[in-house]
């Protein structure tokens, strides 16, 4: 899935995405995460998007191999500048 497709197809409120790629993985759908502050433990907490039920699942573990939405947005913008589509 391309960076542009991630931005277009992610659930509302997502802040991070994880895609398992490489020779050891079969192509998979992206896993979307939402980062928020958890006041009960005084630290950030990730929720995972469950596309089948269209809900956020609270506090699930992640592998740490994630990309942030803001980085992906910046990459898409810079690619469009290189192609002459944006100024």
Q: Per residue of the chain (87 residues), give pLDDT as tens.
A: 889 999 999 999 999 998 876 666 665 678 888 887 777 777 777 788 888 888 888 766 566 678 899 999 999 999 999 988 876
Q: Where are the alpha helices (DSSP H) in the chain?
A: 3-9, 69-82
Class of residue 49 by CB neighbours under 10 A (exposed 0-12, middle 13-18, buried 19+): buried
pLDDT confidence of residue 75: 95
Contacts 24+ apart (CB under 8 A), 32-35: 33/62, 33/66
pLDDT confidence of residue 33: 87
């Amino acid at each position: 899935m391309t960076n542009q497709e991630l931005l277009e197809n992610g659930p509302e409120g997502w802040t991070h995405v994880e895609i398992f790629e490489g020779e050891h993985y079969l192509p998979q759908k992206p896993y979307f995460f939402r980062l928020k502050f958890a006041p009960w433990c005084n630290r950030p907490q990730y929720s995972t998007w469950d596309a089948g039920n269209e809900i956020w699942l609270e506090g699930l573990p992640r592998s740490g191999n994630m990309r942030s939405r803001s980085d992906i947005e910046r990459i898409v913008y810079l690619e469009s500048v290189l192609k002459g589509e944006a100024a």
